[in-house]
Structure 1
Amino acid sequence: MPTARESLLEAAGAALAARPWPAVRMIDVAAAAGVSRQTLYNEFAGKTGLGHALVRRDAAWYLDGVDRALSAPGAGGAPGAAAEGAVAVAEWTVRAGRERPLVRALLTGCWNGDLPVPAGRGVRPGLPALGPDELIRGVRERAGAAFGAGERGGGREGAQRCELAVRIALSYLIAPAEQPGTGLAGLLRLLSATSPRAGAR
């Protein structure tokens, strides 16, 4: 059974999917979660805290998907695993960014008034804000761990490939292809292939 916090986050996420964040009312979120408004305030201290928690939840959801993409069949020490992992992470990045506006904003750094903002953004200068750098660092760390014992070049090469793949995927989020998904996997496989010249060095 979900906790009150989880129920409130689910209700807030559903409310955000239906209307812009400024129109989301705390009383409606509490009612949808089946808890009192006081419980909501006890958990999040207010709408700003609830918004920050939603942003963190979607960031964690995205990175959990990265873990799943990196652990898909063919990952690990198999030949070509880093290239296949990079393609899977890129495809997940595009899918996640299209599915959840908060993930898209986190990945691209493009925020608007319809979304809650992460802690540190628009509050006080100098406070760290969750954004593209933190998520890409998370992808790099996960790829490095996943491919640490894999192909020649180890985790560092896998991490670099995944970072490049995510950066290319972000261009698909910002300027989508005419047909969703067109060419992304092929482009990434081409970029991930070892060039004959690189092999000769």
Structure 2
Amino acid sequence: MPTARESLLNAALMALAQLPWSGVRMVDVASAAGVSRQTLYNEFGSKDGLARGLARREADTYLHGVDRLLAERTGAADRLVAIAEWTVGEARAKPLLRALLTGCWSERLPVPRPARRGAVLSKAPAQRRADAGLPSPADLVAAVRDRSLAALEKGSRPSRTKEESAELAHRSEQAVRLALSYVIAPVGEGVGPLVRTAVGGAVGTTVSATVSATSPTAADRRRLQSPV
């Protein structure tokens, strides 16, 4: 059974699907959730607080989905392709997530304003986290990159160099940025083949193998070691 907070967030999201944020009324959200308006204000503090709560949950849900894909899939390229394809699909279906990932907020959406300095902190831990600040598009890209890198390096060979790890991080970030380009400028074909080519898995190689073979640092080392 969902908590009062989850019920309120669900009700607010359902209202947002029908009305612009300016037309969403707190009393209607509370009624749809089956709780009192006082409970709504106790949980979120204000309509701006509710907006921050909605956006924070959307960001967290997205990152949990990234973690799930990284755990379910095997192979570096397959994981990055899955994240890219899923990101495009989720962002197209969820306007609030699309705004968080791109920074493009339409008039229909709640633009979460920062909590006022000196405002009384919410007693709800989840709301205090939301009020502390929301991730920017760059923050979300970095979070996906770091999660991907941690998953891809888990159990990998211990001899991986710093340069190879940096290249792997670059390719992880490249995959999500390619996905966002498809969100902003949709095309008919899917993002998967492009990401697979970009991360080096188009011909069945792993990202780590491609890194070793193509990174400038690795190439420089080979030239230095070659006989004159």
The alignment's TM-score, normalised by the length of structure 2, stands at 0.75
Q: Report the Cα distance in structure 2 between the residues aligned to 1:161 and 1:116, rounded to whole angstroms.
A: 33
- Show the counterpart of 1:52: 52
Q: Report the Cα distance in structure 2 between the residues aligned to 1:31 and 1:141, rounded to whole angstroms.
A: 40
Q: Report the Cα distance in structure 2 between the residues aligned to 1:7 and 1:82, rounded to whole angstroms.
A: 37
Q: Does 1:111 align with 2:121?
A: no
Q: Classify the secondary structure of the residue corresponding to 1:64.
A: helix
Cα offset, 1:129, TM superposition: 4.8
State the AA in 1 paired with 2:170: Q
5+ residue gaps, structure 1, are 75-80
Q: Higher Cα Rg: structure 1 or 2?
A: 2
Cα offset, 1:16, TM superposition: 0.9
Structure-to-structure mapping, 1:103-142, within 5 angstroms: 103-120=97-114, 129-142=134-147
Cα offset, 1:116, TM superposition: 1.1
Q: Classify the secondary structure of the residue corresponding to 1:135.
A: helix
Cα offset, 1:83, TM superposition: 1.6
- Show the counterpart of 1:16: 16
Q: Is the 8 A contact 1:13 1:54 kept in 2?
A: yes
Runs of 4+ in 1 over 6 A off after TM superposition: none
Cα offset, 1:73, TM superposition: 2.9
Report the number of matched residues. 189
Cα offset, 1:62, TM superposition: 0.7
- Show the counterpart of 2:25: 25
Q: Is the 8 A contact 1:148 1:156 kept in 2?
A: no
The 1:196/1:4 distance shift into structure 2, 3 A limit, reads closer
- Show the counterpart of 1:164: 174
Q: Is the 8 A contact 2:69 2:83 kept in 1?
A: yes
Q: Is the 8 A contact 1:16 1:24 kept in 2?
A: yes
Cα deviation 1:80-112 (Å, max 9, x = unaligned): x22221111111110110111111001111112
Q: Report the Cα distance in structure 2 between the residues aligned to 1:134 and 1:196, rounded to whole angstroms.
A: 28
Q: Is the 8 A contact 1:89 1:162 kept in 2?
A: no
- Show the counterpart of 2:66: 66
The 1:22/1:70 distance shift into structure 2, 3 A limit, reads same
Q: Classify the secondary structure of the residue corresponding to 1:71.
A: helix
Cα deviation 1:3-25 (Å, max 9, x = unaligned): 11111011111111121111111
Cα deviation 1:141-165 (Å, max 9, x = unaligned): 2112211233656764443222101
**Same amino acid, percent of matched pairs:** 53
State the AA in 1 paired with 2:7: S
CA RMSD of aligned residues (A): 2.4
Q: Report the Cα distance in structure 1 between the residues aligned to 2:79 and 2:171, rounded to whole angstroms.
A: 9
State the AA in 1 paired with 2:137: P
Q: Report the Cα distance in structure 1 between the residues aligned to 2:139 and 2:185, rounded to whole angstroms.
A: 22
- Show the counterpart of 1:78: none
- Show the counterpart of 2:124: none
Q: Is the 8 A contact 1:119 1:129 kept in 2?
A: no
- Show the counterpart of 2:38: 38
Q: Report the Cα distance in structure 2 between the residues aligned to 1:192 and 1:2, rounded to whole angstroms.
A: 40
State the AA in 2 paired with 1:9: L
5+ residue gaps, structure 2, are 118-131, 201-209, 220-228
Q: Is the 8 A contact 1:147 1:155 kept in 2?
A: no
Q: Report the Cα distance in structure 2 between the residues aligned to 1:156 and 1:72, rounded to whole angstroms.
A: 24
